[in-house]
């Protein structure tokens, strides 16, 4: 707040309301007056308390008695309370830009204005991938098959150091052939995101940040990760910034997302990352598996190769995950699609190769055969057995059994070994 005629400025932040509706804030008063130039007073006051306001006024009178500090403190408290309690303005849904909901800052990974979560075990390449996306957004470059909106990037780091992160960013920029220095802003973090949100908000405003990377969200919670309150408070603070964000997180010993389920629920896009790396290998094969999507469709699994060169650069290349050692991590339907690229097979043969139950395989094949467009086709078999091939495979055009019709039947959802499949009855 400013009083231009008096040359007085006030900065008010860290505003908190207690359970009995007392509102406290930290107030900094500065002056450009000839008789009291510079810093005057800084302190925490109760905006709803006349006694607290009067104490601050008396303190300021000792620095400059020519100003009516009682009036300034009354106006300051009234304005801040009104703004603080008004909250977010009410709008009509007719004013919403429908097209904006489908937009991405980094297509098809990071949805605009929403939090995206990538989780995986330690040393799985998730931080490398996040840093690669940071470089793309900062430079406005295209790489790895990703479409990018140029952005001012802030990297909030609870895990490493400026030196380590700077080294990685330089290696990635070299791999992309980008000259010059990075424009990514970096802030090492030691406290929780929610407790430090005012300082972060200042950076977001001052540097015009539009993309924040949280590495990692578990550390950013700075509390019990199983606590819904801790997680919701952290995501609430992140949401209050009004920018696009990418959150990195870890898995528990069972290989699932660590901590409260509200991490999964609060994120609009969720990806699981897995890697394959051999001893003494100078590259990492990474698989990105889409686990949740809001306002968009689930995308197919993405394969990536991170190559570390002797010249000190890192090169990321998109790979077809079906042709990588991580092919067995795909869902059952996609694994069947990959297997049938080699030729038609019976459900029993597919089940044996995939190490899955035959009933499960038959369910997936039946649903895929009735999809629009169909994924699989049922073939004639001289021995009377059912065989399936890819619906688009021209090798079996003459073998398609025109007489076999599978009538639509009641379909019900079931859980099997972590995969959502369909049971045909």
pLDDT digits (tens, 9 = 90+) for 164-218: 999 999 999 999 999 888 999 999 999 999 989 989 999 999 999 999 999 989 9
% of the chain at pLDDT higher than 70: 91
- pLDDT of 364 > 80? The answer is yes
In the chain, % helix, strand, coil (3-state, to 5) comes to: 35, 30, 40
Residue 246: pLDDT over 90: yes
Is the bond preceding residue 373 a cis peptide, omega within 30 degrees? yes
Residue from 134, 361, 117 nearest 262 by CA: 117
Q: Is 313 helix (H, G, I), strand (E, B) or coil?
A: coil
Contact 236, 219 (CB under 8 A): no
What pTM did the predictor assign?
Answer: 0.76
Q: How confident is the model at residue 236 (pLDDT cuts 50, 70, 90)?
A: very high
Mean pLDDT for the stretch of residues 289-313: 90
Evaluate whether 386 touches 358 at the Cβ level (below 8 Å): no
pLDDT in tens, 318-342: 998 888 888 888 888 888 988 898 8
Q: Which is higher by pLDDT, 54 or 144?
A: 54
Which sign does the torsion angle of CA 304, 309, 315, 318 carry? negative
- The answer to whether residue 405 scores a pLDDT higher than 50 is no
Per-residue pLDDT at 423 exceeds 60 = no
Quote the strand ranges of 132-278, DSSP E.
147-148, 153-157, 185-188, 211-215, 244-249, 269-276
Read off the pLDDT band of 414 (50, 70, 90): very low
Walk across the sheet containing 211-215 and list its strands.
185-188, 153-157, 211-215, 244-249, 115-119, 269-276, 283-293, 302-308, 314-319
pLDDT at 10 over 80: yes
The pLDDT-based confidence of 102 (bands split at 50, 70, 90) is low
User: Can you say whether the dihedral through the CA atoms of 20, 26, 30, 36 is positive or negative?
Assistant: positive
The helices-and-strands tally (H runs, E runs) of the chain is: 11, 20
- 347 and 386 in contact (C-beta within 8 Å)? yes
Q: For position 410, what pLDDT does the model report? A: 46
pLDDT of residue 99: 63
Q: Cα 281–282–287 angle (5° rounding)?
A: 85
The enclosing H or E element of 52 equals: helix 50-61
H-type alpha helices, 155-196: 162-176
Contact yes or no for 293/269 (Cβ under 8 A): yes
- Residue 136 vs residues 38, 95, 229: alpha-carbon distances, Å: 42, 32, 34
pLDDT at 402 over 80: no
Instruction: Give the model's pLDDT for residue 403.
Output: 40
Q: Where are the beta strands (DSSP E) in 4-152?
A: 8-17, 23-31, 38-46, 104-107, 110-111, 115-119, 147-148
Report the distance separating Cα 70 and Cα 57, nearest Å: 6
At 423, which helix (H) or strand (E)? strand 419-424
User: Which pLDDT does position 415 carry in this prediction?
Assistant: 45
Summary mean pLDDT of the chain = 87
Kindly report whether the peptide bond that precedes residue 178 is cis, defined as omega within 30 degrees of 0. Answer: no
- Which pLDDT belongs to residue 212? 98
């Amino acid at each position: 707040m400013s009083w231009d005629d008096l040359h007085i400025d006030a900065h008010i932040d860290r505003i908190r309301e207690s359970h009995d509706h007392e509102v406290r804030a930290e107030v900094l008063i500065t002056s450009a007056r000839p008789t009291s130039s510079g810093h005057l007073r800084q302190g925490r006051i109760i905006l709803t308390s006349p006694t607290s306001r009067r104490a601050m006024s008396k303190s300021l009178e000792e620095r400059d008695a020519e100003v009516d500090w009682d009036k300034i403190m009354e106006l300051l408290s009234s304005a801040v309370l009104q703004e603080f309690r008004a909250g977010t303005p009410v709008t009509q849904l007719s004013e919403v830009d429908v097209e904006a909901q489908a937009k991405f800052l980094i297509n098809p990974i990071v949805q605009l204005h929403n939090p995206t979560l990538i989780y995986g075990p330690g040393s799985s390449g998730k931080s490398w991938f996040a840093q690669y996306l940071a470089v793309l957004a900062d430079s406005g470059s295209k790489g790895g098959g990703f479409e990018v909106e140029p952005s001012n990037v802030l990297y909030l780091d609870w895990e490493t150091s400026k030196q380590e992160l700077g080294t990685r960013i330089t290696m990635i920029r070299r791999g992309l052939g980008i000259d010059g220095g990075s424009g990514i802003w970096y802030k090492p973090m030691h406290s929780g995101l929610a407790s430090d949100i005012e300082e972060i908000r200042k950076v977001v405003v001052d540097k015009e940040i539009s993309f924040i990377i949280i590495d990692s969200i578990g550390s950013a919670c700075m509390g019990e990760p199983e606590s819904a309150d801790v997680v919701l408070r952290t995501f609430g603070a992140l949401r209050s910034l009004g920018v696009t964000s990418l959150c990195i997180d870890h898995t528990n010993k069972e290989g699932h997302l660590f901590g409260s389920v509200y991490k999964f629920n609060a994120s609009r896009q969720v990806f699981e990352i897995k890697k394959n790396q051999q001893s003494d290998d100078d590259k990492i094969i990474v698989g990105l598996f889409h686990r949740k999507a809001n306002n968009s469709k689930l995308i197919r699994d993405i394969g990536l190769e991170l190559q570390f060169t002797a010249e000190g650069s890192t090169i990321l290349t998109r790979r077809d995950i079906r042709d990588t050692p991580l092919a067995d991590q795909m869902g059952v339907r996609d694994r069947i699609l990959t297997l049938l690229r080699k030729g038609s097979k019976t459900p029993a043969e597919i089940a044996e190769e995939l190490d899955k139950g035959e009933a499960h395989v038959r369910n997936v094949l039946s649903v895929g055969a009735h999809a629009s467009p169909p994924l699989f086709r049922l073939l004639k078999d001289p021995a009377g057995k059912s065989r399936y091939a890819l619906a688009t495979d021209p090798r079996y055009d003459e073998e398609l059994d025109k007489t076999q019709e599978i009538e639509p039947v009641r379909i019900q959802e079931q859980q099997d070994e972590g995969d959502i499949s369909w049971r045909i009855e």
